[in-house]
Structure 1
Amino acid sequence: MKKTTSPEEERSPSHGHDTSAAAQRVRLLERLRLGPVDTITARRELNIMAPAPRVKELREAGYPIHTHLIRLNDDQGRPHRRVAQYYLGTVQQLSQE
């Protein structure tokens, strides 16, 4: 059964229908607080087609986001050797990089 959303939820920045950069940053930050997220997942689950610019903007805003490159298969099973995986660190970790 498909979950219905209220008009208020659809206007919420965290709802996937809002494709503004600000809404994408909100969704990405909320997801990063739960754990690491990779580029493929950000595209599929968060409706963020280009997560790297959103990560850059969040870093510029002071969030300590780190990147690891991982190997990952996409939804069609195709292997990708360099997929960015982002995670929140600490401010101290950011200053050491």
Structure 2
Amino acid sequence: MGKIFVVKTQVGQEENVANLFEKASKRTGKIYSILAPKELRGYIFVEGEDIETIKRIIRHMKYARDVLDKEVKVEEIEHFLFPPSAVANIEEGMIVELVSGPFKG
């Protein structure tokens, strides 16, 4: 298992940088996973062999800016891995519209 680091990107280019890391992972085999949450602008998470490998790879990337030196624990980014529940914000007494299923209408 590799180490997870935060890579700073140009805002709005997170997906492009993630795609470039994907290509680099196929070429080097030293990048294990990439996470680019939509809620976090200007940053992506990259799991790699070590920080030096990631720094070496971003030197050749157009929109990647820097790698934060601190390693990130999985527990810190876990909430980005699971989508929020559709019913999480529904409370008793609220009016809802059923759009499918046997109770539609």
Shared fold, TM over 0.5: no
Structure with higher helix content = 1
Q: Indicate the structure (1 or 2) with the bigger Cα radius of gyration.
A: 2
TM-score, reference length from structure 2: 0.27
